[in-house]
Structure 1
Amino acid sequence: MDEHMAQTFITASVVFRQGTDILTVRKRGTSRYMLPGGKLEPGETPVDAAVREASEEVGAVLDPAELVLLGHFRAPAANEPGAVVVSDVFLSGTTIEPTVAGEIDDYRWTDAAGPLPEDIAPLLADCVIPALDALPVVPAPAAVHEQS
């Protein structure tokens, strides 16, 4: 490999939200928190990888048809110095009670509206949270009133 070419990881990730909090995970042997997700397996679509990784890492059961693409992002890899991660990031409306599973050592809900902890992965801090901030605010169904 050319010493000037960064190793690139193609991944898919899922954003789970509760209000302004987003679910972040820390993989075993690492120090940065990131979205649940991971590398695509051969022949796997980004949606399929996101569903598989969410199940393996936090025990989430997702319907692929309900995932919405937030964006396609590129950032320095959190845990591989000099590497780059390119990720399709999906929004999930599924409410979950996460469990630590697979290669995950810890999880936490991180307030995306407040100051971010220093141990947040670059993809999340530099790409995903700004994309979430740019989304239009849609009123919750309970806020919609029928006219008589």
Structure 2
Amino acid sequence: MGAVTDAPAPTLRIAAAVVVDAEGRWLLVRKQGTSAYMQAGGKIEPGEDPRAAVVREIGEELSVAVDPALVRDLGRRDADAANEPGHRLEAHVFAVDGVTGAVATAEIAEAVWVTPAEAARLPLAPLTVDLLREAGATV
């Protein structure tokens, strides 16, 4: 009998937006039917550029038109998926400036502006925990 090997977890390719206002508050969203707060963003469509995906997702989720010139690449991160058990994320992370007037739409149940200390008291997605820690927050 052969050895049993663990198959790698399925990977989701996403684009995630780190949005921080002038007061140092982070914009986090919670999707309908879920409890974890996370960055706005979502799955990258086949053939779609990650930067274009984050601009599209912010528009869909928060009714905000983002100027692509205000989107800065923060690199790629890997994390466990918050809402799809057994899946991993390959996250293309972007800092997005100039986001104001965000309104939760579509699949978003709630959009909140929180300080890192306030965020630490919320149920957070693993990627969000990693990003807050990178920024120096205790979560």
Q: Equivalent residues in 2 for 1:31-70 (5 A)?
A: 31-70=35-74
| Structure with bigger gyration radius | 1
The worse-fitting range, judged by mean Cα deviation, of 51-60 and 90-99 is: 90-99
Cα distance per residue 1:22-52 (max 9 Å; x no partner): 0000111111010000001121100000000
Asked if 1:10 is matched to 2:6, the reply is no
Q: In structure 2, what is the equivalent of residue 71 of structure 1?
A: 75
Write the distance in 1 (CA, Å) between the matches of 2:40 and 2:52.
13
Q: Equivalent residues in 2 for 1:94-105 (5 A)?
A: 94-105=98-109
| Identical amino acids, percent of aligned pairs | 38
Gaps spanning 5+ residues in structure 1: where? 135-148
Cα displacement (A) at 1:113 = 4.7
Write the distance in 2 (CA, Å) between the matches of 1:52 and 1:85.
19
- TM value normalised by structure 1: 0.81
The worse-fitting range, judged by mean Cα deviation, of 43-52 and 65-74 is: 65-74
- TM value normalised by structure 2: 0.86
Q: In structure 2, what is the equivalent of residue 133 of structure 1?
A: 136
Aligned Cα root-mean-square deviation (Å): 1.9
Q: How many residues align?
A: 132
Write the distance in 1 (CA, Å) between the matches of 2:105 and 2:136.
29
